Every structure is written in C-alpha cells, then in structure tokens.
Structure 1
C-alpha cells in the first residue's frame, strides 16, 4: 500500500477469495497473463486475499514463502484453516489437526499473515462444552508471532449469548456475512471485524449496486472504531464470484485506497 493510501484507511482491508479462478482470466486478469503471475497481479489490485486452498490441502513452508515474496508490502493473506480441524463430531479431539496446520509453515508469511479462519459445516451445532474445548486448543502464538483466530460458524444455534461469551473469553472473532443462507450476528464480533459478503449480483457491473457499495464503505469505516478500535477485513466471496474483483476494487476506491506499483 502506498504512503498516500496508508494515511486514509490503514485499518480496512478489502479482498477476494483466492486468485485462481477461470472466469477471471481475460476478464479481471489481462488477456494472456501467465497463470504463474496471477497472484502478483491480484495482490496489487486488492489489499488482502482469503486463501481457500489451505482448507482442503496441506501446503509446504516454501509455498507460503513464495506467496509472501510475490505479494507487495503491506499485503495480507487470511488463511482458512484445515477442514480436518473443524469437520468432526467432537471438536475437543482436534488438537493434532490444529497443530499440523499451524506447523505447516503459515508463519513463513511473516507480517503478511492475517487472521486464521476456522470454518464449520452448516450442520455443526453449538455445544458449549465441546466448543470451549476447541477454543482452548487454538494457539495464541506461533513462535514470536501473535495469531488471530476468526470463527466462521454457520448454524443458527451459535447466535446466542453463550457462544458470544465464549468468543469473548478466548478472544476470537466471529465472521459477519450478508448471506441469506447463513446466520450471522448483526455486526462483526471480536477484536478483528471480519466480513464475508456473498450476495453479489451477476447483473451488476461491480457485483453490488453503487448505493450498496457506498453503504458498505460507510459501515466498514464504522467497524474500525466500534465497539473499539480494530482492523477490518471485507472479502467478496461466492455469490456471482466472477464479479468479486470488481466489487472489491469499487469498495477500495470508495475507501480512498491507492494500489501499489505493478511488479
């Protein structure tokens, strides 16, 4: 991020899910751009990317190092944690899977490591005792680096004071979404405001109507200070995914962001 942009909204990052998506080629990406250069290009058009591949597969330290080196300074990767940690009947048994994911090399991202997102199945219901056992397994640090954890809970049973109290106790944040199919608190919860916007419309050039993007920009600004000062992440995910880069770019423009120089 340039010096000019960092003086405007340093606490708000806006991005997309991943960078490998066929409909973005010859659309978001310039015609003929080599696939190997897509991360370098995308990371200079948005200020953050949520990595989905780590949910399905284990990557090596050198891969995270490569991502770090290809992205510009002040860029951030949110990492989706391994599904083997969250897609289980008894969450208290996830310790080994959590450790394997954290030890896979995510710390190689250095200062570009953003929040770690723990996504649960829509059928996973809230069990206070078991969920607290899971939260107790999450490491607060990897080496000298502080880790920030975000819960993507997708069953309505989580939208209760008991879950909110546990999240506060263990200092984890909770995903906010505008999706009709997933429940959500009315605002992002926790030390990090983390929004996943899923209602992009293929008929809209920028996925969301201009007035809607104006409203999201205003809302994101509010999240930086309410209920307290915090960093904000807004990702355009799913919906009409082909529109995600345009939506992210339009929101960043409203926030006064200046893209870094091309690689």
Structure 2
C-alpha cells in the first residue's frame, strides 16, 4: 500500500492572512501551521532563486520529523539553460542548502517551459546528471562555483536516503512513447498537471511514484476545486496508493487563497 501526501505549493502568501491563517498568527509560524494541518508541502521559492541554507534550516525547525518537503528545481536550469550544460547550475542548486532537509527531503520537481519540446538526447543527458541519493547530491554540490560563497554552501549530507525526481513538462511531445520510455528507464515520475487546458495533464505511469500539481481547474492559479472534483481526485489517489504507489499532491491555486482550503478538503476525503 502506497502513502498519500497532500499539501500546498508555497505558504508565504499575504492574502492567506485572516483567511486560512489567523490574523494574529506571526508570519514565522505560517509553515508550522501548514504542517499541523497537511501531510506535506512544496517549496517553490527555490524555482525563482537559490535559497540560503537558513531557509532550509527554518523548514527543518518548523516541521515534524520525516515531514516530506518537495523542492522545486531552479528555473535557471529548466527555463534559461533549458536543460543544456547544467552541471554547475545543478551543483549550485544542491549546494544552496537542500541537503539540510535530510530525511525531510521529498521529491525534487523539475518544471519545464511550455515551449520546450521533448528532445531525447537533451533529456537523457539531464536525467543522467541527477543525483539519486544524498551522498551523490553532496558530491555534486561540492562542485559548485563561486556564485555561492563558502559560507552559503552546504556540501555534506546527514543521511544517505534516496532522492526521487519528478518532471513537469508542459509540451505534449513528452507523452510520446520515447519520452515515457526514457522516464521509466531513469525512474522519474511524470507529473499530472491539472490546469484549465493550458498544458497537457499526463496520466502515464512511469515509476512507483505519482506526483500531482493542481493549478486551478477552471481558472489558472485562481479557481477552487468543486467537491465533485475533489471526490474524483480522492478516488484516483486511493487507486494509485492501492497499487503500491506513493502519491504527492500539491495545490497551486493560491491567487485567491483557495489552495490551503482545497488541500484540507482533499485530506478530509482521504
């Protein structure tokens, strides 16, 4: 039987104050408030810039033991370099403090731009570079460049647990048999990305892990999920978990503050 983890993509949203967060709850306690009510969280600030080790240490301090924290890979790797020549950028990413999460580190998410089609050689080279456990990530992190000052780099691991990777492409060519075969060969999950028709929502099974991102079913990043829709996702998650797959689900419809409420509502159904 697989596990099911549900959370939100990010938690530092001022619009949630006085709605999901009590109005008098200090910002420094927002993450612990989320961790008390959900079973995982996705860090998305790491997509926009390299975080500091202090950010990851704060996450450790404010979450329970083995509370899985998915980490979103940097857009410099995915959107600017477009997966090419990313040895050093990957080293910088893993040296930025990710290793401090230890056993809390959940899947690492790599979101691709919608105008990036499947290229077998490029994707294969990228997947070959990804570290599959913490010691391998530490060895990679040690190759960081001077973009990270010595006091900002973490290049040692406190565990040797596995590191799982998931890919969120937004081009339909990633549903091809060749792309799916490559993901299966590298044991990488293909994200099911729900949106109002903006990107394909892949449903293919490429490993024993399922990763779902819910961006808003009728209005991107904004609309909430109706009870019937949450019921359908709950059924699918039970089916996947019943087949032995671990499931991670993150709500990204944060613009109007729906994400945390939908996450709690889905957890209630599970």
Coarse TM-score class (shorter-chain normalised) = 0.7 to 0.9
Is the contact between residue 188 and residue 194 of structure 1 (CA under 8 Å) also seen in structure 2? no
Number of residues paired by the alignment?
242
1:188 Cα deviation after fit: 5.3
Partner of 2:178: 162
1:194 Cα deviation after fit: 0.2
Distance 2:68 2:82 in 1: 32
- Deviations 1:172-207 (CA, angstroms, capped at 9, x unpaired): 1111022111113234542210001122568xxx92
> Which residues in structure 2 correspond to 1:238-249 (within 5 Å)?
238=253, 241-249=256-264
> Which residues in structure 2 correspond to 1:163-242 (within 5 Å)?
163-179=179-195, 180-187=197-204, 189-200=206-217, 207-226=224-243, 229-238=244-253, 241-242=256-257
Distance 1:10 1:66 in 2: 29
In structure 1, runs of 5+ residues without a counterpart are 1-8, 256-263
Partner of 1:106: 98
What's the TM-score, normalizing by structure 1? Answer: 0.86
Distance 1:190 1:96 in 2: 27
Partner of 1:259: none
> Which residues in structure 2 correspond to 1:69-148 (within 5 Å)?
69-88=61-80, 91-143=83-135, 144-148=160-164
1:239 Cα deviation after fit: 6.7
In structure 2, runs of 5+ residues without a counterpart are 136-159
Is the contact between residue 200 and residue 240 of structure 1 (CA under 8 Å) also seen in structure 2? no
Is the contact between residue 201 and residue 239 of structure 1 (CA under 8 Å) also seen in structure 2? no
What's the TM-score, normalizing by structure 2? Answer: 0.84
Distance 1:75 1:26 in 2: 25
Give the alignment partner of residue 151 of structure 1, picking from 152, 167, 179: 167
Give the alignment partner of residue 40 of structure 1, picking from 14, 18, 32: 32
1:240 Cα deviation after fit: 5.3
Distance 1:57 1:145 in 2: 25
Is the contact between residue 178 and residue 197 of structure 1 (CA under 8 Å) also seen in structure 2? yes
Provide the alpha-carbon RMSD of the alignment. Answer: 2.0
Give the alignment partner of residue 30 of structure 1, picking from 22, 32, 57: 22
